[in-house]
Amino acid sequence: MTKPREKTREEVTIKIEDGKKKIRQLENREKVLRQKLSKEERRTRSHRLIVRGAAFESIVPEAKTMTDEEAAAFLRLALTSEPAREFLRKRAEAGNAQLAREIDAALPIELSREEQIRLVREY
């Protein structure tokens, strides 16, 4: 029985370099795919914001003449009302809501830090 021929140092080095090249190619492919995913997520978010902004303006025609700050304050007031909270509670109980691990919230700067925290906790 003959022993398989051992690879020379040169052959092993070439295999290592080929492996490194494949790793670089796969890393570049991953980078391209992550960029595509990020672009798609931005496109989806932009579409959602446009659709919801249009709905807001169709329900509240005065929104067209409001400043960004006025519109945000109006939405804050509207969405912290008891009927809005009840709607969200029922939606969550029905299982139609997603659990958020993180949230972005615009809070009134007129409130103290403690009041802002209390407002978020109550929400």
54 in the same domain as 71? no
71 or 115: which carries more pLDDT confidence? 71
* 3 found inside a domain: no
Q: How many domains does the chain have?
A: 2
For 80-121, write each residue's pLDDT tens digit. 889 988 888 888 887 755 555 566 677 777 888 888 888 877
3-state secondary structure 20-88: HHHHHHHHHHHHHHHHHHHHHHHHHHHHHHHHHHHHHHHHCHHHHHCCHHHHHHHHHHHHCCHHHHHHH
| 86 and 55 within one domain | no
The more confidently predicted of residues 46 and 113 is: 46
pLDDT value of position 42: 95
pTM (predicted TM-score): 0.53
Q: Which residue did the predictor score with more confidence, 5 or 36?
A: 36
In a domain, 122, yes or no: yes
Q: What pLDDT shows up at residue 1?
A: 59
Q: Which domain holds residue 39?
A: 9-59
Mean pLDDT of 11-15: 94
